[in-house]
Structure 1
């Protein structure tokens, strides 16, 4: 009951914030014009975002290899792309369920299949935190030495938490939460244990977040001029907004939460109407790239099987 109330409060607060921002900046948004070069940049942003999702499929394969479960690369990239769009369904677990079933059908052990879809969002979250912490060190602010030391220590903590000694209990907790959320049985003798540090998959997820961030920066660049000095700020703000969209309950695919967070973080650095427009367009870019990825994977399987 409390969880449902929390979800409705988050949804209501997010919608209220976005509606207020739209109302206060409607004229500025209406005055924005995108020229031919801008549309070309948005098309490039869509391609980069599609590349990011395809790359994430490769990283998923690396996770299996880290778990000593080699899988067919092209088949599992197709599975990843086809199931990716299901994250917008209520519950936000449909894409995980589809990937587990596909892995089990490919004779992957139940433990490895389950662990792969639990480890992926954890590594994505860790990658987002790393980008936020590293990016903040390059943003020109009047932060004290104490804050900078705290940021470096935070980065060290994130890297240490990914050690199997700390990560395995977190994975088991996440499994119980997701199993409860999807009303599945949590009894089995599924072995949810990492045996080695997931360095390669972590680097892969950093690449995924980097590509997603580039897509967002390009979308903003299509609407407004940017300086190179603003890139760390934009990547850090994007990563933090994306992270909240990943972890906040009641937001399938981060809908609303990502946009509200990005606007709140960047409204003092860019014209608010531009930020609102950029986040809205980037959501369309994301959905279009995910839909294109799923469609192309489906077509390729049937035309070149």
Structure 2
């Protein structure tokens, strides 16, 4: 029963990817995007190369967030160079079918550093939930700024602020339940002060993830200007489009790196805000992210060490909920 249900989800995800790819191809043909590529020529190549380098550097925001999550999840002495290198080298695996092998690669590589299974699972949990929630908050924030007047409605600002503050608490609160579901050794927790401490220790990683999506949206806006898309000055709309498209590609089962799904969502979003060359910009942004991931991978290879620093996991379980009194 479980196997058949899983198969249905995978087939459904592949169907969505196929529909999205057909939509993107149809829009590319209808918009004569090839003329746009030929018209930009060397300028397009330069924009893709520069954008790829910038995107690769922004990847270290996520790598630093993951390192912090490792350290608060049970490996307080996780080495910076080896951890950042692992993240950079494994991120390219998201292009494999299934869209999960970058997580698998990090888990296996982390185990090679001596980090225990439970700590790696906790770090993956916090990273996944943090990425989705950070993208959702930025998408909502961008839409609220762009969708109405130029100023953010006070009630919307308060609501988003509460949402941002609640997410780290929600992730910390879910940890005991996650521990039971995964049948791992429960952490040593302090009910009276552990939750606040846990949430506060999650905030820096969460903010780094938010900064990554914001930088990706700004990069999309700059790419739009470089390709003659005449984008509006309201960068928030581009941040919202980028974050929303990322969520769509992440949650669709089987969408390797969100290919097809994110391009389709970007085309729809850019068209909605009257951006010219929406198809060219969306496809070029995929080229930028792919180039950036390749550069990020090469940077990860540069950080590789034949003899990495092996660390012993914390005997008390996840450090973020450990009672330090």
Task: Please confirm whether the aligned pair reaches a TM-score higher than 0.5, indicating the same fold.
Answer: yes
Distance change in 2, residues 1:75/1:192 (3 Å) = farther
Give the secondary structure class of the aligned counterpart of 2:236. Answer: helix
Judged with a 3 Å threshold, the aligned counterparts in structure 2 of structure 1 residues 162 and 224 are, in CA distance, closer, same or farther, namely same
1:1-305 mapped onto 2 (5 Å cutoff): 1-26=7-32, 29-32=34-37, 33-34=39-40, 36-68=42-74, 69-141=76-148, 149=155, 152-153=158-159, 156-157=162-163, 159-164=165-170, 167-168=173-174, 172=178, 187-189=183-185, 196-197=198-199, 198-224=202-228, 226=230, 229-271=233-275, 274-301=277-304
With CA pairs under 8 Å and 6+ residues apart, which has the higher RCO, 1 or 2?
A: 2
The CA RMSD over aligned residues, in Å, is 3.2
Report how many aligned residue pairs link the two structures. 291
Go from structure 1 to structure 2 and tell me whether the alpha carbon gap of 1:270 and 1:284 turns closer, same or farther (over 3 Å shift).
same
The 1:171/1:8 distance shift into structure 2, 3 A limit, reads farther
Range 76-85 or range 129-138, more displaced: 129-138
Give CA-to-partner distance per residue, 1:205-229, whole Å, 9 cap, x none. Answer: 1111122222222222220154663
TM-score norm. by structure 2 comes to 0.77
Secondary structure of 2:77's aligned partner? coil
Task: State the alpha-carbon separation in 1 of the partners of residues 266 and 225 from structure 2.
Answer: 15
Larger Rg: 2
CA distance in 2, matches of 1:271, 1:23: 18
Matches of 2:287 and 2:241, distance apart in 1: 19
Q: 1:300 to 1:116 in 2, by over 3 A?
A: closer
Question: TM-score, length-normalised on structure 1?
Answer: 0.82
Q: 90-99 or 291-300, which moves further after superposition?
A: 291-300
For 2:116 and 2:306, locate their aligned partners in 1 and report how far apart those are by CA, in whole Å. 30
